[in-house]
Structure 1
Amino acid sequence: MATVYFRCFEPVHRILHEPTFWAEYPSLWENPESMNASQRLKILLVIGIGSSLHGEAGPDSELRDRVQQWIYTSQAWLSGPLEKDRLNISGLQIHCLAMLARQIFSVGGDLVWMSMGSLIHRAMQIGLHRDPRHLPSMSLLQAEVHRRLWYTILELLVQSSLDSALPPRISLEDFDTDSPSNINDDEIDESTTVSQPHAKGTYTSTAMQLQLIDSLQSRLRIVQLLNGLRSELAYQGVLTLSRDITDACRACSKFVADNRSAGVTAFQWNYCDYLVRRFLIPLHCPFASEARLNPLFNYSRKVTLEATLAFLSPEPDDYFSRLMATGSGMFREGFRYAASTIAHEILVQAQSQRDDGTFQSNTRQLDFLKQAMHDLTALSWERIRQGETNIKGPMFLSIVLAVANSADKDAVCELTMAQNARDSLVLCYDILEARARAAPWPSPNDGSLASSSGDGDQDALGLEFSLDFFFPNTSLW
């Protein structure tokens, strides 16, 4: 499981120096008393995150329960008195791993933006926002870990800002840390004094993070515009930022194609593309909803649909498919964006074809969208099988399909929509009932009774499946 973590997550979110980790790793099993709390927590969180892609770690398995307890323990340790063993690089590494694990395992995964405030403040308190050249002398390895960790924190921050629709808490003027060097972990250690970074087009253990950093400035600007109370979203600015994101996706695709033989995996490509491309949908949604009335915004409608279809057809990879079926937070929000976008587009297309009388004769485009809707519905059911308890998603999609399948919108009565919704609810009920029968009963003193899954947190805030969240001017019902 630790190997899976370093193969899949670490190349994208640079948190640890791999040789250092593996040097400490055997002590957990051979001489655990020799390890301090931070070393143990790092290893357990790495194992836990890697277990999310392990075939035996089902939604109600004993292993998953144990990983959740490790996450709670890490959060409790981070919340303790700010002693020296917390306010340092090791403490920040544990904080980053915990933020990632919370979203993977739905432990308050939709509320990480609040915790990211603490993380970014701690990082700035110890100087990560300043490049090492401005700080007291440190080793080459320490400087590289410093830079990698800072940009990992920024990446997690902009993702949480996008998901929470809240400000990112930082601007480009608040830091001057240089990008990390394009160098492999095994090429530097504490004794290294001189290194020769590889060319940017060369694949190394840091190369995927550098691909994300290239678009970080544009994505930070996007969340500032979307979530700022006094920001004005001018369309020309939207087009400029959209071009930056599209160019970044194309550059990453080319980099992956050029470095297949060097070790780039399908998971790494899918993951990086997902983290960057998903910014296009909320950026264009306010204008895409106006495209019916103002054809000048048809480009926004095209961009949101293409981004959604890209989500639904990543390069085949079992690990990435499993992550999208189990994760919350930033891993679930892409699914929510896609569902709202496809739902809006299929309703617009169906109504347009009803109006011009081609609903029965020109079915190719509408059938394509319906198939995408069926794929999303299947994914929503799979997410419920894998641990999610929010059944509104598949019910929402089923109701939209009822409207889209009717040649006469006025003939779509409430009974038809209710029947589709009921069929979806029955299936969800059967899935949840099967999970409940298979899950072991917790004891009265089991701490898991007091824990809550992050999958329900959005509903507590009123952010449930609705076209209004993404398309506030939609009137298609």
Structure 2
Amino acid sequence: MTSRSVMHKTRLFGQSHWVNSIVGFRDIFEMIDQQVTDTAASKVYVDMQRLKHLGRIIKALRVGSSWPSPSMSMSVTQGTLTTSSSSDPHKRYGLPSRQLADELVACYLRSTESLYRILHVPLFQREYDALWTSLNEATTNSPLTKADMAFVVQLKLVLAIGAATHPSHIDLRTRAIHWFHAAQAWIAEPEYKSHLTIQALQIQILLLFAREATGIGGALIWISVGDLLRSAVYMGLHRDPDHLPKRMTVLAAEMRRRIWNTILEVVVSTSLDAGGPVMLSDSDFDTRPPSNCGDEQLDESVLAQSTGSTIQADIQANNKASAETPTTAALTPASQTARPLSEFTSMSVAIALRETLSLRLTVCKVLNDMGPPCTYADALRLDRRFRAAYRNLTRTLQQYTAAATAAAADTSEQAGAPKTIDHYTVALVHLAMRRYLLCLHIPFFGASLHEKTTYAYSRSVVCDTAVRLWQACCPGIVDASVPTADAAEFAANEAKQTSFEQKPGRTLVDPEIVRQALLGAGALRRLSMQASLLVAAEAKFQLIEDDDLGQNGRTPIRQDLMAIIQTALHWSLRGIEAGETNFKGYLLWNLIDKQLDGMRRGMMAAPTASAESRMTLARELVAAAEQAEAECTPIFEAMLARGQQQAHDSALQALALPSGGHVVGYGGAASEITPVETFGPELYNLVRMCRIKDCPCQAIIHTQQQDQQQQQALAAAQLAEHHHNLQSLSMQQPLMPDIQQPLDPMAVEFAADSWDLIMPEAQSLNIGSGEPLSWLFGGETAQGILW
């Protein structure tokens, strides 16, 4: 059976973590360990260190200068200083063009918001339009208000999440990371009480999804979820609004239920992904599920008198009873605005998922909590309950699809209301549910190799579920001539051809899922990796059983399993081309593919394999590792070159530099942009620690030396010119024009131009001390001349 937990470095992973999927391939590393680590000159070891070093530098380049950078703090937290003199108002606040922003917002609404309800979309859309209106009407010296800046932070997170499913997701990855860091700088302000608001909770939730979308932190998101959960509990979201003493509007109550429901989903899903205890139970809250109210229904019945500036604003009830008795007016109950559960709204999918929350919570506790290990009988009973709940959920989604189809023909429906369930949303639901079923049986998957009859059901469930998960994420192998940027669209279009229906086992996969599960970062990427590794483990188990029966590779492995292994090998390299800085996945797949090939040739079977054949297979594995690293090296070097150029261009754009490289500081003095300001000190620390011969990162040091030499030469030229100007001044010429009357500072009015002429000379000579021109107006009149 799979170990109860796995310790890796400083972290402890539970049974649901994807790392349990590679335990079956530990013998690969045992075979090549001696050849790789016996000598420091091992090519595999040296290239691995080189690639790891390049990966760290690439990630540092994406972050840019030190965090939080001055541009973030001034443009986001203060809201009164701009970091660029650009004529485009949106650029002064780090926003893209309106056209790109509209596309990214649409991507977010179709992906994250369709499953996890965080925002009130009509209200968000009004504030979004108002922001662009204010930006277009704003002048250079009219900054946004503090409330507007909070919405800008929210918008940046929406853009960062939407970039993960945008067709240009590869080019937008660096910008998405900058948007995330700007929002992180805002939420990190030491204003804790002011962050205990619904909007701040929304930003915290969006921050977690943005971390997943940009690949920052990985499974460490589970740690931050604890902070989010406790903030929500402190605000009372775990109590239903009907049980709270403070009266609130229908919109406020429904938004509290929606956000708490989303927090519950995030808590359970991150616990499963990180392999950590869920630390939550059904008895810890009594907030009921959200009502089946679409945003449009709430907007029509409750927001009629709202200004749309804040969710917590007082909203007058829109009925005759409350108008007749204003002192005891009761707000419209949510049940009057809710639609029947059989009718599809924007909340229908979230409500349907809530029905399975308790069961999914139980699965997480069984896998990752500190309690006694789950027996196989308990696992089978939980499997039956889960499958029944999954069938009910599937039927509910089918009913919603039928109801939405009928509503699409009804022209009396509110314009803009959802007419049908998006295929992408349904696919996400199935991916989420099947992951729980997969993780429930993984602890018994390894034991099925030795106890074939006892755990045969778990082995079958793991294999079939892993195949379904992979097929739901991957449309197939893309032609190598197709650029990675177009791979998702090409694969999806190929799957939609007329031959699609004629090929059994094919699944229609949206390009957005391909961008997230195969080319992006986050939970879907780890899920596809976990599913494909389990498929490879099943193929290996079949070869082991074949050897035990004396077949020695003569029994063919299931073709669908081998196809998945080859496809996973292909897409792991495509993921690196799309910006992934961790090459170990591609390296592992090359080793797995080579080991399976050797097993088919009988190089590991006990009856036929000899020590020499095993050593030959070990050398082939080392060669495969070298080949994989050789393929990854030029990709990393190209990413490094692009990262350097993007970091330099971003620094120029943020500081509004002219072509000469000079920038006017906030104090009015001219300064130079240095490589450290461009790339950040963290990058230079990595470069200075590099001891790899001919590493491409040395070009950064060369660039630094060239820039420093240019700056020193420029400074020397300016100093020489300054001395020349001083020497050219006539010593007989008085410093100031003749004054006929006694110099009285209280009686003489100096024009601003006179101060401008005197101050630069006084400052450059460092004359006197104290207040400006005190050396001239003070008692010692000869102080300046004596100096």
In structure 1, stretches of 5+ residues that fail to align are 452-477
Show the counterpart of 1:432.
636
1:4 aligns with 2:4: no
5 Å matches for 1:224-235? 224-235=365-376
**Which of 521, 536, 553 lines up with 1:343 in the alignment?**
536
The question of whether the paired residues in 1 share the 8 Å contact of 2:543 and 2:557 is answered with no
Q: Quote the Cα distance in structure 1 between the aligned partners of 2:554 and 2:341.
A: 52
Show the counterpart of 1:282.
439
Q: Quote the Cα distance in structure 2 between the aligned partners of 1:240 and 1:391.
A: 40
Q: Quote the Cα distance in structure 1 between the aligned partners of 2:628 and 2:681.
A: 28
Q: Quote the Cα distance in structure 2 between the aligned partners of 1:257 and 1:139.
A: 33
Q: How many residues align?
A: 447
The question of whether the paired residues in 2 share the 8 Å contact of 1:274 and 1:311 is answered with yes
1:297 aligns with 2:455: yes
The question of whether the paired residues in 2 share the 8 Å contact of 1:281 and 1:337 is answered with no
Q: Quote the Cα distance in structure 2 between the aligned partners of 1:449 and 1:259.
A: 54
- How large is the Cα RMSD of the aligned pairs? 2.2
> For 1:290, what is the secondary structure of its paired residue?
helix
The question of whether the paired residues in 1 share the 8 Å contact of 2:542 and 2:557 is answered with no
1:422 aligns with 2:626: yes
Q: Quote the Cα distance in structure 2 between the aligned partners of 1:81 and 1:55.
A: 37
The question of whether the paired residues in 2 share the 8 Å contact of 1:288 and 1:297 is answered with yes
Q: Quote the Cα distance in structure 1 between the aligned partners of 2:277 and 2:242.
A: 29
Residue by residue over 1:407-458, the C-alpha shift from the partner in whole angstroms, topping out at 9 and shown as x without a partner, is 312345202222333332222223323333444432432477749xxxxxxx
Show the counterpart of 1:182.
292
- Structure 2 residue identity aligned to 1:111: L
1:95 aligns with 2:210: no
Give 1:350 deviation, angstroms: 1.0
- Structure 2 residue identity aligned to 1:208: V
The question of whether the paired residues in 2 share the 8 Å contact of 1:325 and 1:386 is answered with no
Q: Quote the Cα distance in structure 2 between the aligned partners of 1:429 and 1:238.
A: 45
Show the counterpart of 1:53.
165
The question of whether the paired residues in 2 share the 8 Å contact of 1:212 and 1:276 is answered with no
5 Å matches for 1:231-250? 231-250=372-391
- Structure 2 residue identity aligned to 1:75: Q
Show the counterpart of 2:518.
325
- Structure 1 residue identity aligned to 2:435: R
1:371 aligns with 2:580: no
Q: Quote the Cα distance in structure 2 between the aligned partners of 1:241 and 1:142.
A: 37
Q: Quote the Cα distance in structure 2 between the aligned partners of 1:256 and 1:374.
A: 33
Q: Quote the Cα distance in structure 2 between the aligned partners of 1:245 and 1:76.
A: 41
Deviates more, 1:223-232 or 1:11-20: 223-232
Q: Quote the Cα distance in structure 1 between the aligned partners of 2:578 and 2:554.
A: 40
The question of whether the paired residues in 1 share the 8 Å contact of 2:156 and 2:183 is answered with no
| Inter-CA distance 56–222: structure 2 relative to 1 (3 Å threshold) | same
Q: Quote the Cα distance in structure 1 between the aligned partners of 2:679 and 2:440.
A: 41
**Which of 404, 421, 441 lines up with 2:596 in the alignment?**
404
Deviates more, 1:48-57 or 1:287-296: 48-57
1:122 aligns with 2:231: yes
| TM-score between both structures, scaled by the size of structure 1 | 0.88
| Inter-CA distance 446–263: structure 2 relative to 1 (3 Å threshold) | farther
Show the counterpart of 2:125.
22
- Structure 2 residue identity aligned to 1:224: K
- Structure 2 residue identity aligned to 1:389: T
1:31 aligns with 2:134: yes
Show the counterpart of 1:389.
581
Residue by residue over 1:192-216, the C-alpha shift from the partner in whole angstroms, topping out at 9 and shown as x without a partner, is 6243433334321011112321221
The question of whether the paired residues in 2 share the 8 Å contact of 1:182 and 1:204 is answered with yes
5 Å matches for 1:38-117? 38-58=150-170, 61=171, 63-117=172-226
Q: Quote the Cα distance in structure 1 between the aligned partners of 2:628 and 2:389.
A: 39
Deviates more, 1:350-359 or 1:306-315: 350-359
Give 1:89 deviation, angstroms: 0.6
> For 1:304, what is the secondary structure of its paired residue?
helix
Q: Quote the Cα distance in structure 2 between the aligned partners of 1:418 and 1:201.
A: 59
- Structure 1 residue identity aligned to 2:188: S
**Which of 427, 439, 445 lines up with 2:677 in the alignment?**
445
Residue by residue over 1:64-108, the C-alpha shift from the partner in whole angstroms, topping out at 9 and shown as x without a partner, is 323212211222222222444311110000000010010010122
| Inter-CA distance 81–283: structure 2 relative to 1 (3 Å threshold) | same
Deviates more, 1:186-195 or 1:129-138: 186-195
Q: Quote the Cα distance in structure 1 between the aligned partners of 2:566 and 2:429.
A: 25
Q: Quote the Cα distance in structure 2 between the aligned partners of 1:175 and 1:118.
A: 17
1:164 aligns with 2:274: yes
Q: Quote the Cα distance in structure 2 between the aligned partners of 1:47 and 1:426.
A: 35
> For 2:454, what is the secondary structure of its paired residue?
helix
Q: Quote the Cα distance in structure 1 between the aligned partners of 2:682 and 2:215.
A: 14
- Structure 1 residue identity aligned to 2:215: S
Q: Quote the Cα distance in structure 1 between the aligned partners of 2:261 and 2:378.
A: 25
Q: Quote the Cα distance in structure 2 between the aligned partners of 1:279 and 1:450.
A: 39
1:207 aligns with 2:348: yes
The question of whether the paired residues in 2 share the 8 Å contact of 1:103 and 1:327 is answered with no
> For 1:119, what is the secondary structure of its paired residue?
helix
The question of whether the paired residues in 2 share the 8 Å contact of 1:252 and 1:273 is answered with no
| Inter-CA distance 154–326: structure 2 relative to 1 (3 Å threshold) | farther
The question of whether the paired residues in 2 share the 8 Å contact of 1:184 and 1:205 is answered with yes
> For 2:568, what is the secondary structure of its paired residue?
helix
| Inter-CA distance 96–303: structure 2 relative to 1 (3 Å threshold) | same
Residue by residue over 1:231-263, the C-alpha shift from the partner in whole angstroms, topping out at 9 and shown as x without a partner, is 321222222332343334434433444444342
Show the counterpart of 1:454.
none
Show the counterpart of 2:547.
354
**Which of 157, 170, 173 lines up with 2:283 in the alignment?**
173
Q: Quote the Cα distance in structure 2 between the aligned partners of 1:225 and 1:145.
A: 31
| Inter-CA distance 374–201: structure 2 relative to 1 (3 Å threshold) | farther
- Structure 2 residue identity aligned to 1:178: R
| TM-score between both structures, scaled by the size of structure 2 | 0.54
Q: Quote the Cα distance in structure 2 between the aligned partners of 1:121 and 1:66.
A: 31
Q: Quote the Cα distance in structure 1 between the aligned partners of 2:399 and 2:294.
A: 18
**Which structure is larger by alpha-carbon Rg, 1 or 2?**
2
The question of whether the paired residues in 1 share the 8 Å contact of 2:157 and 2:180 is answered with yes
State the identity %: 29
Q: Quote the Cα distance in structure 1 between the aligned partners of 2:258 and 2:185.
A: 25
> For 1:31, what is the secondary structure of its paired residue?
helix
Give 1:153 deviation, angstroms: 0.8
In structure 2, stretches of 5+ residues that fail to align are 1-103, 136-143, 304-317, 319-331, 406-418, 473-507, 649-675, 684-787
1:13 aligns with 2:116: yes
The question of whether the paired residues in 2 share the 8 Å contact of 1:311 and 1:338 is answered with yes
The question of whether the paired residues in 2 share the 8 Å contact of 1:215 and 1:244 is answered with no
